[in-house]
Each structure stands twice: as structure tokens, then as C-alpha cells.
Structure 1
Amino acid sequence: MKKHLLLILTLLILIPSVAILVVTGWGVVEHEKAMKNIAESYVLDLAQSVAVQVDRPRFMRRNLMISRSLESFALDISLPGWVALVDENGNLLAASSRAQDVLPQLWQGGIPVGRAILVKGPFGDNYTIAAIPTSQGWYVIAAVAWSQLLGPMVRFSHLWPVAVGLLAIAGVCAAWAFWRWLIMPLLSLESEVSSLKWGKDLPKKDDPVAVKEIRRLRKVLYQLAQTAREREELTQRYVSDLVRVQEEERTKLAREIHDGPLQDVTALLQRILLLKRENWSDKAKKYIEIAEESATEAVKELRGLCDSLSPPWLDLGLSQALTELTDRLERVYGVKIHIETSELPEVDTDTILAFFRITQEAINNAVKHGHADNVWIKLFYEGKSLILCIEDDGCGFDFEGDTEALRVKGHRGIANMIERMRLVGGSIDITTSRGKGTKVVCTVSLPFVGEEASSDAFDV
């Protein structure tokens, strides 16, 4: 019920007005019928009473004194209405004084005998008229004006529909105003809020059509959204600066390792090789070979560390960089990495670095935490989006999407992956559960690339 509360409130305002209008219309119709029945009954009774008077013997003895005879049995009675006496040809024989001006205009001939009908007067008034035959072959015509017979009832029947109609119109207008200035702005606000990406989008600042309270609510919502957006931008700048500093520190550390310990160990290895040329005892040669192996292994590890901190393959493009990375990690971790790449469009440096680090982090997690034996990597371009899919057959883990909880527990790997995708305007979807491995899908839109670059793609 709460879901449709606004619609219910609108109907509660609108239905009474419509009900009043319908009931009033029905009442007016019934009122008209009642007035018509009253007028018909009255006119018939009046005509019949006069016809009875005309049929009396004393009236029959006064054939040529009709007018005076009509006066004698009180045709000019004080009751509403007028009567007249006509012959079979429709000629007026006599009429009450109040009918002299009106009845000739109402009498058009052809009035049904024995029943009353409704006719319009010269000024648009309603009249009910009836014709009753007499024994002499004459006809008594009786008529009455509704305004004379019913008086206030006629005026009431005219004023009541107008008053109630105005009330019903006011109710409908109120319902329309309620819907137009309150319900519609609320629905619009609800639609905006439901689709609002908090921290990114801004709702409309104002709605001139809405009532004052909703306009204030929208203004407050706009201010909150603007604050969230500024906070998100500040967070983005902070994360961006943090990532940039991290990469700079990685590069600096790789350079210092390369120029310092790596050169020293390389020089030590050269001295050991020179030392091997001398004549030594078998025991001494054995120790020298061990030292050579240790120095060689140290050089390899230091170079691998430099490559990991500052990969030199990033300049070769995303596909080549990921291929080099997976080859080295496959040798280091002893895991089988299957990589598939399609023909890709030109990708900016930030996206290459983000995908590279995410792949590096995903493989490290799959091996160290998931104990995976196989990792599958697919990189392709579809539509206008660059998609990277990394899937392993490890043990997986429980993940409900709360990166902050993982960060607090010290698991910064996934949080860093998400932050890197946010920096390049992409999205990341992580699907995992215990015993079923982990799947990471990264998507970045490249709107500047033409449609023709998306021919080859793998299904994720």
C-alpha cells in the first residue's frame, strides 16, 4: 500500500469530487422528473375539474353565455394555472383572464387528449399543458408555468447544479494541482535519486513547478550530492597522487637497486669468474663455484625485482607487456598461465599500467592465497570497451564486495585493484567463493576508438 500511497491520496481527493458531480447530476435528473410529474398531475386535475363543471346541466342551459358561465364556476380561481375552452375546430370559446395572453401562444393544436405534455413558453419558460374532452365535444385546455406552480423548486433546480458543478470543478482542479505541483515533482525527484550515482552525478538544482517544500528538499539534496561529488573528486585526486607516488617510488627503488646492489653483485660475479681462472685446489674450486651460483642467482633476483618494480615492457604495448609479465611469473611461481589477446586499438599509458598492475596482483593472489595451478587471461576489445578477464582454479575466498573491510584486515590487493580501475574510469567485477576459484573482469571504455577496431573479441 505504501508503494502506491501518492496515487491513493490523489484518488481520495479526486473521487469525492467525481462522486459529488455524479450524484448531483443524478439528483438533478430525478428532481426534473419529479417537477414534471407534479406539473402533469396538477394540470390534469385542473383540466378534469373544469371539464366536470362544463358537463353540468346548468352550464348546458347557457349555450351563448360561456364567458360568464366560466366566471360563475370560478375559472379565475386563485390556484396557479390557466384554463380555456375550445371547440372541436380549435376555436377559443372562453378563457380565464390570466390565460388571455399566454394560452394562445401555447395552444398550437395537436395536443394529445387525456395526457399532459411539456412545452416551452414565449420566453423559454417551461409549461405543462393538457386537453380534456367534454360531453359537448368541446375541450378544456389547462396549462401551468413551472415557475408559478413550483416557484423555489425551479430556482433551486437551476442554482443547485451550478453550485455543485463549481464545487466538483474546484475538487478536480485541486486534485490536478495536487498531482501537478506535488505528486509529479515527488515522482521526478524519486526517479532522479534512484538513478543517481552518488559522488558522480548531480540532480536538478531546482524544480520551478514544485511546491516550496519540495524545492527546498531538492536544494538540500543538490547540496549533499555536490558535497559527495567534491569528496569523491578529492578522494580520486588523493588516490591518483598516491598511485603516482607509488609508481615513482617503485621506479626510483628499481633504479637504485639497478645502480647499487645489482652493479655490486655483478662486479662480484665478474671477480669470481676471474678468480676461477687461477689454479686452485678442488675444494677451493668447489667453494668458488658455489659463490658463482649464489652471485648469479642474486643478479637474477635483483633484475627480476627491478623489472617487477618498473617494468620496461610497458612501452611495448598492453598485449606485449602482459605477455612478458605472464612469462616471467610463470617461471617464478611454477604455475601454468594461459593468455589470449586479440588485436587491440591504441591504449593510453594509464590504462596499460592499470591493467598490468591488476594482472600482476591477480596472479600473485591466485598463487599465494588461492594455491592455483592454472590461470587463464583474456584481453580483448568489444564494442567500445577494453576488457580484461583473469580466472584461476584456486580455492577462492569469501567476498561480499566490502573493500573497506578487506583494507582494514590488511588485504589491500583487491582494494588497490578497484582503486586503479576507478582512476582510469573503468569498472571491475570480482566473482569468487570458497572452493570455486576467482574471476576478475575489468572493463574500460575507449570512446575515442573507431568501431572498426572491435572485430575480434573473446566471450567472457
Structure 2
Amino acid sequence: MRRHLLLILTLLVLIPSIAILIVTGWGVVEHERAMKNVTESYVLDLAQSVASRVDRPRFIHRALMMPPRSLDSLVLDMSMPGWVALVDEDGNLLAASSKAQDVLPQIWQVGVPVGRATLLKGPLGDTYTIAAIPTSQGWYVIAAVAWSQLLGPMVRFSHLWPAAVGLLAIVGMCAVWAFWRWLIMPLLSLEAEVSSLKWGIDLPKPDDPLAVWELRRLRKVLYQLAETAKEREELTQRYVSDLVQVQEEERTKLAREIHDGPLQDVTALLQRILLLKQESWSEKAKKYIEIAEESATAAVRELRGLCDTLSPPWLDLGLLQALTELTERLARIYGIKVYLEASEIPDVNEDITLAFFRIVQEAINNAVKHGGAKNVWVRLACEKGYLVLQIEDDGSGFDFEGDIESLRIKGHRGIANMAERMRMVNGQIDIKSSSNRGTIILCKVLLPLSGEKSPGNAFDV
């Protein structure tokens, strides 16, 4: 419920306004109906009362003895609201009350239904109710009343009350609209933006002119915090990049020192042993000399392998040749199968070559040492403008939830180093792994490609 609290609060404010409008509309309709019934009943009673008087024998006798225009004095001139008139079958006026003299010509219509009340509009917009009742002489008694005359304040109230209540409801709905437009919508936008914000990478919008002042201030503070986090992340990345660069330089320096120092000394020692082996010695002495030769040869091999690991000389041959040499060596060292599948790729710079080389090296080492993998598949290809590297193994895998930083904190720096190397070349890395299901590492770097590349061969190392 708390998740939808803003929507609930908005509805709680909006529903009363809508209810007021509905009740007001219903009240206006019922009020109009009640006034209509009152006026119709009044007019019919008035017309029937006068018609019963006209049907009296005395009135008929006097009417027959007098000219039609002299019948005015015979029609009841009442002090009650409304007016009455007497017309013949052709609609000619025979007599009328004094109040009807000015009104009748304006609203009188020959087609008024007989026996029931009808609503008419006067020339000034007033509403009238009129009724025609027949008499025994074939004449018709016409009765009419103006709503403003009969109902008075009720008519005025019927116009003012719905206008006031409707205005109040409209103000309430406008308030709800303003509440939703300048508070709820900016708040929902801020919530959606913050929930998708990659802290230390993305920046939210610095301002929202449509939001209320408090939300604009909150967004400004959030922007400042995100900007600080991004600067800190950039500083960390520069630090890590410098650290990796220094690490590579130290590896190259160490490989050079090993090659120029211990490796040369052991090689010279091996040459002396070979020269010593040519002299005449006893069988026992020859056996010791052969052991020394084997040890020196093994030391030379290990020192050269160490130099190649620290600073691979085949990196200068290009990415594909470097990966081919690396997978062959690691397959021999660990006694596993490494399958390299590569299509023709364009030339890439030294940074990308080094990053992909170290990632493959780290991935195979982790797959064998930690996952016990027996087979590793390395795929290198160009796809949709990207240079794609995929490494898959059949090892035991591990439970990975996608948080590389947590692995760094726990001391598992292998994957963290892969991510840092991809970040240095503006690439992307995606790792999928679970227990007993192996690991898949996917790396992508955007490259300017021109034309399609023909597929290469697959190598079974």
C-alpha cells in the first residue's frame, strides 16, 4: 500500500471534487424537475378553476348577451401569480385578465397542447408554463405563469447554487491537477531516474522547472552528490589505470632483469656444464654432471617461461597471433584442451591487444585452478561493429550475482582486474556463471569496421 500511497492520496483529493460535481448535477436536475412539477400543477389548477367558472350557466348567459370584447370583466382577475385568458376555437382572444394584456401577445402560441402544461421561453429568456383547458362552449381557458413570478428566490437559487458548487469543484480539480503536475509527476520522475541511476557513472537532470521549489532543491542536491560520486569514480579509475600501467611496466622491467641477469647466468652455467661434460670423468662424476645439466636446462626453461608470462614478446605480432601462442602454451602447461576460434579481425591498438590477452590468461588460469575445467573455448570475432571476445569453460563455476565490486572486496581480484582492463579500453564485460554450470565471459569493444570479414579456421590446441 505504501508503494501506491501518492496515487491513493491523489484519488482521495480528487474523488470529493468529482463527487461534488456529480451531486451538484443531480441536484440541479432534480431541482429543475421539482420546479417544473410545481408550475405545471399550479397552471393546470388555475386553468381548470377558471374553466369551471366559465361553464357556469350564469356566465354563459351573460356571455351570449355581450360582445366578445366585453367579456374581459367576466374573467376572474385574480391577485394570485399568473394570468388567464379565454380564446375561441380559432385562437381569437375573447377575454383576458389585466396581467395577461402585456404578456399574452409575446408568448401565446396557437399550437399549445390541450389538457396538459407546456414550457415556453419568453422573449427576455424567462421560462413560462402554459396550459389550455377546453370549456363546454368550445372555448379554451389559457393559463400561464412565469417561473420567476411563482417561485421567486428558488429560481435564482437554482442558478447560483450549482454555479457556486461547480466553481468550488472546479477549483478542487484544478488543485488536484496542480498537485499532480508540479509535485507528483516530478517526484515520480525523480524516483524513476534515481532507481535507474548508475552511481558514479550517470548524472541526473540538474533541474526540473515544472517541479515545486522543494523538489527542485532536492534534485539539485542529488545532482551535486552524483557529480561528486562520478568525480570520485573517475579518480578511482585513473588510479586503477595508472596502477595497471605501472604493473605492466614493472612486469616488463622484471622480465628484462630476469632475462639479462639470472637467465644469462644460468645459461652460461649450462654452457660450462656442457664443456665440462666433454672431459674424461668417472661414471659417478658423469652422473652428477648430467644431473646438473638437467637442473640448469630446467632452470633456463622456467626462467624463459617466466619472462614470457611477465612480458610476452609475441604481443607485437598482433592480437590473433598472441592469443594463439597463449592458448597453446597454457594448454601444454595445464594439460587441458583450449579451443581457439577466430575470424579475420582488423588491426587493433596495443591497449586492446594487451587487455584481451590478459583477460584470456586470467580466465584460463581461474578456470583450471578454481573450477577444475578440462576444456576451454575462446572465440574472437567482429560482430556489428564490435570486437567480441568470449571465453567459456566446463568447470565448476561459481555463484555470481553481477556485483564485481563485491568480489574485489572479498579478495577475488581476478574478475575485478578483467573489468578494470575492459574499462581502460572503453569496453564492456559480461560474466555469467553458476555452480556446476561453468563460466562464460563476454567482452566487447567498439571498433570502426569497414566491410565484413571472412571467417577463419578453428584451432584445436
- Following superposition, the deviation at residue 451 of structure 1 comes to 5.6
Q: Distance in 2 between matches of 1:10 and 1:457?
A: 65
Tell me: CA distance 1:202–1:454, structure 2 relative to 1, closer, same or farther (3 Å): farther
- Following superposition, the deviation at residue 76 of structure 1 comes to 2.5
1:281-430 matches, within 5 Å, as: 281-401=282-402, 403-404=404-405, 406-430=407-431
> Contact 2:397/2:439 (CA < 8 Å) preserved in 1?
no
Q: Distance in 2 between matches of 1:449 and 1:43?
A: 94
> Contact 2:59/2:74 (CA < 8 Å) preserved in 1?
no
Q: Distance in 2 between matches of 1:387 and 1:119?
A: 85
> Contact 1:385/1:444 (CA < 8 Å) preserved in 2?
yes
- Following superposition, the deviation at residue 100 of structure 1 comes to 1.0
- Following superposition, the deviation at residue 400 of structure 1 comes to 4.4
- Matched AA of 1:306: C
Measured against aligned partners, the alpha-carbon deviations of 1:18-76 in whole angstroms (never above 9, x if no partner) come to 23222222221222121111111111111111122222233234232888876577x22
- Matched AA of 2:378: I
- Partner in structure 2 of residue 213 of structure 1: 214
> Any stretches of 5+ residues in structure 1 without a counterpart?
none
- Following superposition, the deviation at residue 445 of structure 1 comes to 2.6
- Partner in structure 2 of residue 39 of structure 1: 39
- Matched AA of 2:59: F
Q: Distance in 2 between matches of 1:370 and 1:110?
A: 102
> Contact 1:206/1:215 (CA < 8 Å) preserved in 2?
yes
> Any stretches of 5+ residues in structure 2 without a counterpart?
none
1:253-292 matches, within 5 Å, as: 253-292=254-293
1:434-453 matches, within 5 Å, as: 434-436=435-437, 438-450=438-450, 452-453=452-453
> Contact 1:398/1:432 (CA < 8 Å) preserved in 2?
yes
Q: Which moved more, 1:9-18 or 1:33-42?
A: 9-18
Q: Distance in 2 between matches of 1:90 and 1:280?
A: 159
Q: Which moved more, 1:218-227 or 1:362-371?
A: 362-371
Measured against aligned partners, the alpha-carbon deviations of 1:308-362 in whole angstroms (never above 9, x if no partner) come to 1011111111111111112222222222322221111222222211111121122
Q: CA RMSD in A?
A: 2.5
Seq. identity, %? 76
TM-score of the pair, normalised by structure 1: 0.91
- Matched AA of 1:159: L
Tell me: CA distance 1:407–1:145, structure 2 relative to 1, closer, same or farther (3 Å): closer
> Contact 1:383/1:451 (CA < 8 Å) preserved in 2?
no
- Partner in structure 2 of residue 241 of structure 1: 242
Tell me: CA distance 1:414–1:105, structure 2 relative to 1, closer, same or farther (3 Å): closer
Measured against aligned partners, the alpha-carbon deviations of 1:250-309 in whole angstroms (never above 9, x if no partner) come to 011011111111111111122222222323333322222222222121111111111110
- Following superposition, the deviation at residue 112 of structure 1 comes to 2.0
Measured against aligned partners, the alpha-carbon deviations of 1:403-430 in whole angstroms (never above 9, x if no partner) come to 5554455433233223222322333333
Q: Which moved more, 1:390-399 or 1:236-245?
A: 390-399
- Following superposition, the deviation at residue 151 of structure 1 comes to 0.5
Q: Distance in 2 between matches of 1:456 and 1:384?
A: 18
Measured against aligned partners, the alpha-carbon deviations of 1:187-216 in whole angstroms (never above 9, x if no partner) come to 322332232222111111001011122212
> Contact 2:208/2:216 (CA < 8 Å) preserved in 1?
yes
For the residue of structure 1 that corresponds to 2:391, the secondary structure is: strand
For the residue of structure 1 that corresponds to 2:124, the secondary structure is: coil
- Partner in structure 2 of residue 225 of structure 1: 226
> Contact 1:203/1:222 (CA < 8 Å) preserved in 2?
yes
> Contact 2:393/2:440 (CA < 8 Å) preserved in 1?
no
For the residue of structure 2 that corresponds to 1:452, the secondary structure is: coil
For the residue of structure 2 that corresponds to 1:331, the secondary structure is: helix
Q: Distance in 2 between matches of 1:131 and 1:112?
A: 7
For the residue of structure 1 that corresponds to 2:40, the secondary structure is: helix
- Partner in structure 2 of residue 52 of structure 1: 52
